[in-house]
Amino acid sequence: MESNPIIEDNDVFNDDGYIIPSTPFPMEYPNDVAAIESISKCFHRRYDACPVFYMGSFTKACQAAFSPTVIEERRPVLVYVHHDGSMLDNIFCNRIFCSTTIIEYLLENYIVWPCDVTLEGNRNR
């Protein structure tokens, strides 16, 4: 007898038809690095590629962005806000944000810091 999983409206499927966990960031995590590693792994599973995310707090990302003494070496921080309940987020990531061209451009020109707001606990941090 086969067990059929319950499928919900906000479930995401990969190309093989398997359900991908809907929340990239766990509700609780020990620190920002663990949370960002989680979303990076999730993006690699879903889209086979992912922009290079800054592994640290937002404050540290800003410090890294503006600490070079040579102005030309400074890069702005791009804050990527993700919500797994939005079908448009999945389309944006699949077709644009995780494309090779965009990934390379962001790597050269920005410090990318992700924020997942799918769960209320993450919206309040």
pLDDT, one tens digit per residue, over 24-53 is: 555 667 788 888 998 899 899 889 999 999
Report if residue 82 sits inside a domain.
yes
Question: Which phi and psi (to 5°) does residue 89 adopt?
Answer: -60, -45
- Cα–Cα distance between 5 and 69 in angstroms, integer? 55
Q: How confident is the model at residue 112 (pLDDT cuts 50, 70, 90)?
A: very high
Report if residue 19 sits inside a domain.
no
**Three-class SS state of 41:** helix
C-alpha of 26 from chain center: 12
Average pLDDT score over residue span 79-97:
90
Place of tokens 């479930």: 11
CATH number of the domain to which 37 belongs: 3.40.30.10
Q: pTM (2 decimals)?
A: 0.75
Least confident range from 2-16, 21-35, 76-90: namely: 2-16
Least confident range from 15-24, 43-52, 66-75: namely: 15-24
- Cα–Cα distance between 22 and 20 in angstroms, integer? 6
Number of domains the chain is built from? 1
